[in-house]
Structure 1
Amino acid sequence: MRTFAVEQWAFALADDRDAWSKRHDDSAWRTVRVPHDWSVELGFDPHASSGTGYLPGGIGWYRAHVSLRELAATSGQHVRIVFEGVYKNADVWVNGYHLGGRPSGWIPFSFDLTELLEYAPDDDLVIAVRVEHTDISDARWYNGSGITRAVALHVHEGVRLREHGTTVTTQSVGPAASAALRVAHALESDLDEPVAVRVLHELRSLTTDRVHEFSADLVIPAEGASDVALETLVPDPELWSDTAPHLYRLTTTLVWHAGDEERRSAYELVTGIRTVAFDAGSGFSVNGEPRVLKGVCLHEDAGTLGVAVPTAVWLRRLLSLKRMGANAVRMAHNPHAAELYALCDALGLFVIDEAFDEWENPKNKWWQGHNVYPPRHEGYAKDFPQWHERDLVAMIEAHRHHPSVIAWSIGNEVDYPNDPYASPLFDEMTGNNDANKPAAERVYDPSRPDVRRLTTIARRLAGITRRTDPSRPVTFAAAFPELSSRTGLFAELDVVGYNYKEHLYEDDHERFPAVPFLGSENGHGYAQWKAVTDHDFIAGQFLWTGVDYLGEAHGWPVHGSGAGLLTLAGFEKHAWHLRRSWWSDEPVAYLATRPHAEGAGADFWSHPIGRDWDAADAHPVEVLVFANGDDLALSCGGDELPLVRDDEHGYWTAVTGPRAEPLVLESRRDGEVIARDELAARSEAARIEAEVWTPPAEAVAACTAAGIPLHGVLQIECTLRDAAGGIARDDRVVEAIVDGGELLGVENGDLADHTPYSTPSRATREGRLIVYIRPHGTVTVRLRAAGLADGLVVHGA
């Protein structure tokens, strides 16, 4: 198979009803590069929907011109156009012929161009795509607008593997240093007579380069399809896990004869050998070794980049989360871009893949602030009856070869009380996110849909899932298990996920002793983590969230959620360090401060923490210590400050008056200092520090071996430094001036900053921001702020 990326498109943000035509003049349209998100290019609008980040939608057209000469010979070939995702309501034409559409913006889809190429009048193949995203209250978070994922042309021989038609399953890892592997293919043929095909396999370890070969034979009927499955024992396998993510490249070569001529067609995919299991008594394991899932939930956007996020940006984020101690990701609440799954394979992150946030009935969509009535009811629910099976199957088929994927989630909080399903079993139902909700919206209303309907739908979705991939468990993220556990819903699942219901773990484990449980969505508190470590039967937790995201905003001017451990700019928050002290085996020592207030505890929202240490401030200061050593020492000017363990919140504290000397923390193990942190008084900015983020060599090597491209974007971390080299206490507006490249965006992580993302300047937040550049060779970037010398980056010289 040959693949041709279709990246350059003409774009118009307008509903040009004639743009489908091959002869339509698009010479005045703007040239964009796909993946592309037009919503994030527009300004924040207080009249747009708070739920989707106060960013507009609209109707847009894309047109691409592809030279058939560049595709080379296509006669006798099978040609498809493949879209990884278009948000949303895509309609596609090629050379003026309407191929069809796809409502969902999260699902890959493709069309057969083989017949149409016979009618091509010239060398110019014109692809036109209409995208409609006018219902901007269609989700509870930001999803962007446009061709937000990659597009490619796939040129196959007449005998081929069906798109996403390969399944790789590790059936067992034996004690005799071998693994039983099952490989299945769906094959198709355009030939007008039956054809005998030999299927050759080369399984090559990306770690050791060791090769294992095996083959099979079959006959495909004329213009028909056949399936083939074969089992093989792989000797001395390199097993994939979160701590040793060994991968293999499976090359499948189809060999057949057309007359006297031997024909071949080769396909490659990267996969892994591993077994995973959820157990009702002992939790989760990989390759028979117990693991606790230390997970985070992720949405898809990256602030200024929208949802058209370059792979290297996700690499920076995932490496930070991995360094924190995370080993798992939940794709909330929809299938994500293909590159993210590949990164999880390469880095060693378990994945729970999630299909739906709503089924046949829409959830409340808050468009004028959180829980501000009345809600709107736009979204995927209107497409669910017609499209749910095709969308679910497409998600599973596209991702089932990834060793990182450990479970399929068929829904998130579809059982949320009175949203809209209800039951007479409860006179009143209150969900975990119902602050300020009117009392009338919490009581039982018989006119609402009956919650028992969810069990019927879950049975259908679970059946589809198991038919498509019987090797992974089916799960569901329950919002109100107090009710769902009484309606038969749990009987349809292999693993039950609880969202924010840790207090039910023990009682429900007794009620359902044969059911594996996990925390599918959890708060950041120490008690929630202890609910995992104190109960072996809980497989782990998934924090809401790993990274801040656009949308689900509580009200203007805030346009996103600050629930993450990383900011929208990908910088670590203070809570990242606290979590690392719980999750990581690496030494941790971190200091934070705030004005002393009785009973503040871990309420970092009402009593925010920072890194201030200013002798001019006369108020008592609470020092928070996040560390994992056996022995801690906090000192200032040679005086040791007594530390008090806060067992409720999982850290140490000290209260002291301000001092001129730096505050020093040492974390020791076996008498040796394993980690150290220091706080000193900060002053105003004296210079701009600009550094290109560079991934560790081992991460680059892993991605390169797996064929994951990391080029195409520079990530420049900008920091305001004071005269002593610390992060400055003041913030400045920084302008990015680029020569030799394209400015993709500037992000500071400030969720209340509604400066349009299309502008080249932005104020720093806590002294930092990040600049994204697409280089065109050697690129020079100047970061300019009033009163400071420019920060300068020259890259690629």
Structure 2
Amino acid sequence: MKLYKIWALLLLLKLIQPVLSFAQNHNPVKREHLLIDTGWRFALGHPYDVKKDFYNGTGYFSYLAKTGYGDGAADPNFDDRTWRKLNLPHDWAVEQGFDPKASLSHGFKAIGRNFPDASVGWYRKSVFIPAKDLGRKISIAFDGVFRNSIIWVNGHYLGTEPSGYHGFEYDITDYLNYGGENVIAVRADVTIEEGWFYEGAGIYRHVWLNKTDPLHVVPNGTFVRSKLENNQAVVTASVTLKNEALDNQKFNIKQSIADADGKVVASGELQNLELNVLTEKEYTLTIPMVKPRLWDLENPYLYQLLTTISKNGEVIDEYKTTFGIRTIRFDADKGFFLNGKRIEIKGTNNHQDHAGLGVALPDELQYFRISKLKEMGSNAYRCSHNPPTPELLDACDKLGMLVIDENRLMGITDQNLAYLKKLIIRDRNHPSIISWSIGNEEWNIEGNITGARIAKTMQAFAKTIDTTRAITAAVSGGIGNGISTTIDLLGYNYVATKNTDEQHKKYPAQFSWGTEEGSTVASRGLYVTNMAQHEIAAYDTRQNENFLSLEDGWKHYASRPYLAGMFVWTGFDYRGEPTPFGWPSVLSYFGMLDLCGFPKDNTWYLKSWWTDKPTLHLLPHWNWKGKEGTPIDVKAYSNCDEVELFLNKKSLGKKRMEPNGHLSWTVNYAPGTLEAIGFKNGKKILTDVVKTTSEPTQITITQETIPVANSNIAILTVDVRDVSGKSVPTAVNDIDFEINGPAKIIGVGNGNPTSLEPDQFIEQVSVVRINNLKEKAISAIDDLSKLTTATTDWDYAFKQERTQEFGKKVTALIYRGDFDLTDWSDQTKITFFYKSLGKEQSIYINGKKIAYKLLANKKGNAFTLDRSVLKAGKNTIAILAIPILKVQSWDNINTDPGAIQVLKPAAGWKRKLFSGLAQVIVQSTGDKGEVSLTASSNGLKPAKIKLKL
């Protein structure tokens, strides 16, 4: 009787355990926003060769036919152990070499249609989901994958995103293995380009795992607006909730505003709310604030809105929104106003790539780039020509930089408008954003009625989402027609061919600014144009009659108050579009800064007139050996009243500075010292000197400042000095780099538009397959009689199905195959990733025992192969196994013995100086310890620096 009761109790516990577990899992747990950038595997696939694309999409039931049938590399059981390990963000395009057959606009990187073997990339990662998460809503969010991405989780197809610039998120709640591992697979295809500039390839932005209660704030579900009056603000905070529970939900909403110190300064609450099953709804509170601190360019003060959802006294969701309080408005006659003060827009256009890294930028690098632009006086940033990574906008918010946030493609289809809506909803809480751009240089439509209609529709649609910002479009032609007749805020691209005064007179109520201007081209640090060598002197010279010089462009805008200001094309150089050249130029020449962020001379022109800081800059350098007595063009950029020039202490004359201008002299070269002295109100206030240097003798490394606390990266400038310590501006030395400690080099660059040197030096992974696999029945796995005999009379492996009947006839098998090893060295690491072919097995390579009587292992086995076992050329492998048999006819028996990974270590990092400079970017691995970088070059004294990471 007692035994019966015990069994009954055990049975009862077993029955109620799922209920208890479910109840435990429904304890309120707040939102989790988890970064899952680490621990990915990567391999190149193929756009049309299914064998090279891991046979994805070839199954009898594939992922588009039946749910959960992701096959090939999308199969959760796919063996990816031979794939390369990496962390995100990642850009595989920047790892490729250069080729004249590649796309000019994409910097001649060897990807795209002509390079199918490098145009599809696969990523895989396993994520553990705790059992306690059962009952929560879980989604996976990608900030950006370039491009045409397909995503699977546990073999379930989630969706396809063609755009490489828009983030996307998928609900994976019902696909997950709770209390176990879950496999994410991503396929990206860059065969087709999206833009006409370098775009990269792969998962180049962050990936997140989001976990919430079934009742939660939707992604990007808050919108904060504010109105100011008499030193008070009224904050309007809207929040959209979704109820994904299977019953109606009752709840309260609390909105709290915290200042920069985390102190709550205002709040509001909505109580006794109810939301029906599987519905979403927006709720709005108005929250008064006294004496708010405003967000502006000098003091970009930020608040945080904490949205709290509670149910039955328990907090079930918290959502944080950073925002700023400020007023913006455009005036058709007076330009742009921030917090009631007229601000002249001093902007730059920028793409999203950087030297050495392509588009896979660490977050801290965004702050470095924005700080470099602010240094030269820029106060505005146009995202050219696509939605940016969220971290770029965070940097603009925190550092005080105005932003045009730009849509990728004009159009009025559901997809076009959905993309525009996605952009606005994601970014609308950033105080830095002052305008939404719906398009750029749409030449086919911008000057006709079609363009006018599309622009009018998109503008009206945008205003249904956000009425607080002006809508702009960048127009390069068709002024007076098409888009320019309907857009609220007209963006001029290059006024050399346009009459802005006439347009303003014709449309007096229209706001306007210059969305692109000053499209000058220059090679940093070079002052003689050599078209054959693709070198353009770094003087401000107009490109052709369709463009103004930087100076003439700024003078046009600065003299017309109705124009809110202008955006220079561009702030930074970028890969691709190497106007006016083709191969072998691989970078643009447009930037005020080169691809590394090293300033070209034009930055000092802008600094002179875009800042109030006293500025004086003299160009060119003064190293002209062999040109003694030759006239050299000398220029001074300054905001001083007057500048006097001296050569070897002899005055060459004092000149008065024209507002928004520059000064020029023609000087017969003589080695020595060229000195400029700037005067303000008759008093000497500044000096700039360029000196002739001798040959370099030593290397110097300087760590750049990044305006981020506890930066994970270090940006290093490398130059060479002569015996007296002067930087040599003409140096082109090859520099080798070695890093020690818990950090790694992630990119090198020098800003040279014609450099075809590698951007990155990474380990090379190749996979060798086992070929010609045949089989023969043997008496036992100890039977070695067939280990080295000929296989001419053997069957092809797995020709016979592994049925129970087969098992009665065959107790053991020997499998024989071969593989080829070529081009390997002492440094090469060779690993055999074995997948079990039997219940028990022994493995021999070239007759030498590798493993003996291994039991079957679902996860497989890995063997690092010693050189003594292998030989260059053909190798043989033998596997003696007790066969695995099918239990049911539909069972899948593994027929793949695995593969050999050949891993060649990365070559040493190096870069040639260009105009005396190179850049190295280092990233911490997260471990503790001292990090140092050494730079060396033949004939020069090396430099070593201890890094602060």
Tell me if both proteins adopt one fold, taking TM over 0.5 as the criterion.
yes
What are the residue-to-residue correspondences of 1:343-492 with 2, within 5 Å? 343-356=395-408, 358-359=409-410, 385=413, 387-414=415-442, 416=443, 420-421=444-445, 451-482=448-479, 485-487=480-482, 489-492=483-486
Change in CA separation of 1:359 and 1:616 when aligned onto 2, cut-off 3 Å: closer
**What does the per-residue CA deviation read over 1:622-666, in whole Å, with 9 as the maximum and x for residues that have no partner?**
221111112323223433221445859811122232344422222
| Distance change in 2, residues 1:280/1:643 (3 Å) | same
Matches within 5 A, 1:54-203: 54-55=108-109, 56-57=111-112, 58-69=119-130, 73-117=132-176, 120=177, 123-136=180-193, 138-170=194-226, 172-174=227-229, 176-203=230-257
Query: Aligned-pair distance for 1:30?
Result: 0.3
One-letter code aligned to 1:781:
L
Q: How does 1:228-239 map to 2 (within 5 A)?
A: 228-239=283-294
> What is the rounded CA distance, in whole Å, between the counterparts of 1:796 and 1:720 in structure 2?
22
Greater mean deviation of Cα atoms: 633-642 or 59-68? 633-642
Deviation at 1:615, TM superposition (A): 8.9
SS of the residue corresponding to residue 39 of structure 1 reads coil
Contact conserved, 1:645 with 1:651, CA < 8 A, in 2? no
Partner of 1:545: 570
- Give distance in 2, aligned partners of 1:795 and 1:304: 19
For 1:626, which of 637, 657, 662 is the aligned residue?
Answer: 637
Q: Is the 8 A contact 2:97 2:758 kept in 1?
A: yes
- For 1:253, which of 293, 297, 308 is the aligned residue? 308
Aligned counterpart, 2:736: 735
2:503 corresponds to: 508
In the alignment, which residue of structure 2 is the partner of 1:426?
A: none
The answer to whether structure 1 residue 301 and structure 2 residue 353 are counterparts is yes
- Give 1:455 shift: 1.8
Larger Rg, first or second structure (1 or 2): 2
Stretches (4+) displaced over 3 A? 207-210, 420-423, 610-616, 643-649, 670-674
Give the 3 Å change call, closer, same or farther, for CA 314–614 of structure 1 in structure 2.
Answer: farther
Could you say which residue in structure 2 is the equivalent of 1:773?
Answer: 922
Conservation of the 8 A alpha-carbon contact between 1:66 and 1:126: yes
Give the aligned partner of residue 583 of structure 1.
610
Contact 1:527 1:648 in 2 (8 A): no
Contact 2:410/2:438 (<8 A) preserved: no
Bigger relative contact order (CA 8 A; separation at least 6): 1
Aligned mates of 1:34, 1:543 — CA distance in 2 = 31
Query: Do 1:86 and 1:106's aligned partners in 2 also have CA atoms closer than 8 Å?
Result: yes
Contact 2:266–2:287, Cα closer than 8 Å, also in 1 = no
- Give per-residue Cα distances to partners, 1:769-788, cap 9 Å, x unaligned: 11011223432221121111
| 1:364 equivalent in structure 2 | none
Aligned to 1:562, the other structure's residue is in SS state coil
Q: Deviations over 1:534-567 (max 9, x none)?
A: 1110001000000000011331000121100111
CA contact (8 A) 1:643 1:653 kept: no
CA distance in 2, matches of 1:510, 1:77: 59
Give the counterpart letter for 2:721 in structure 1: R
Offset of residue 346 of structure 1: 0.6
Letter in 2 for 1:91: I
Q: Matched residues in 1 for 2:657 and 2:643: separation?
A: 14
Aligned pairs for 1:511-590 within 5 A: 511-523=506-518, 524-553=549-578, 554-590=581-617
| Contact 1:90-1:129 at 8 Å conserved across structures | yes
- Whether the 8 Å CA contact 1:407–1:473 is kept in 2: the answer is yes
Residue in 2 aligned with 1:35? 89
Contact 1:53 1:551 in 2 (8 A): yes
Give the distance between the partners of 2:576 and 2:666, measured in 1 at CA: 37
Change (3 A) 1:511 1:77: same
| CA distance in structure 2 between the aligned counterparts of 1:202 and 1:648, rounded to whole angstroms | 49
- Please give the alpha-carbon distance, in whole angstroms, between the structure 1 residues aligned to 2:302 and 2:738: 41
Q: Deviations over 1:136-172 (max 9, x none)?
A: 4x421001000010001011112210001111112x2
- Residue 231 of structure 1: how far off its partner (Å): 1.6
Alignment pair present for 1:283 and 2:338: no
Pair 1:611–1:478, CA change in 2 (3 A): farther
Contact 1:738 1:782 in 2 (8 A): yes
2:691 aligned partner: 680
Which piece of structure 1 moves more, 757-766 or 344-353? 757-766
Inter-partner Cα distance in structure 2 for 1:354 and 1:660: 49
The DSSP-based 3-state class of the residue aligned with 2:246 is: coil
Provide closer, same or farther for how the CA distance between residues 634 and 334 of structure 1 changes in structure 2, counting only shifts above 3 A.
Answer: same
Structure 2 distance, partners of 1:521, 1:623, is 28
Give the CA deviation at 1:592.
0.3
Contiguous gaps of at least 5 residues in structure 1 = 361-383, 424-450, 594-609, 705-709
Q: Which amino acid aligns with 1:408?
A: W
TM-aligned CA deviation for residue 510 of structure 1: 0.4
Q: Which AA in structure 2 matches 1:662? A: T
Match of 2:722 in 1: 722
CA–CA distance in structure 1, aligned partners of residues 282 and 475 of structure 2: 37
Q: Is the 8 A contact 1:614 1:658 kept in 2?
A: no
Contact 1:79 1:153 (8 Å CA) reproduced = yes
Is 2:642–2:655's contact at 8 Å kept on the other side of the alignment?
no
Check 1:491–1:165 CA distance in 2 against 1; reply closer, same or farther (3 A cut). farther
Cα distance in 2 for partners of 1:564, 1:216 equals: 51
Partner of 2:822: none
1:566-614 deviation digits (Å, cap 9, x = unpaired): 1111111111111111111111011103xxxxxxxxxxxxxxxx45466
TM-score (norm 1): 0.85
Q: Percent identity?
A: 30
What is aligned with 2:749? 747
- Which whole-Å CA distance do the structure 2 matches of 1:580 and 1:726 have between them? 24
Match of 1:763 among 902, 907, 912: 912
Which one-letter code corresponds to 2:246 in the other structure? D
Cα displacement string for residues 340-362 of structure 1 (whole angstroms, at most 9, x for unaligned residues) = 00000011100001102x446xx
Q: Is the 8 A contact 2:700 2:720 kept in 1?
A: yes
1:101 deviates by: 1.4
The 10-residue stretch of structure 1 (623-632 or 33-42) with the greater mean CA deviation from structure 2? 623-632
- The correspondence for 2:382, drawn from 314, 323, 330, is 330
CA distance in 2, matches of 1:169, 1:491: 29
Q: Which of 485, 489, 496 lines up with 2:490 in the alignment?
A: 496
Q: Deviations over 1:448-502 (max 9, x none)?
A: xxx32112221222122111212111110011133xx223x34532211110026
* C-alpha distance in structure 2 between counterparts of 1:187 and 1:146, whole Å: 32
Structure 2: runs of 5 or more not aligned: 1-30, 46-52, 57-71, 113-118, 519-548, 762-908
Residues 391-430 of structure 1, C-alpha deviations (whole Å, 9 max, x = no match): 111111110000000010000001x2xxx4497xxxxxxx
Q: 2: distance between equivalents of 1:674 and 1:633?
A: 12
> Cα gap change, 1:26/1:730 in structure 2, threshold over 3 Å: closer, same or farther?
same
> Could you say if the C-alpha distance between residues 615 and 724 of structure 1 is closer, same or farther in structure 2, counting changes exceeding 3 Å?
farther
Separation (CA, whole Å) in 1 of partners of 2:205 and 2:318 = 25
Partner Cα separation in structure 2 for residue 422 and residue 215 of structure 1: 47
Shift of 1:304: 1.6
Q: Displacement, 1:271?
A: 0.9
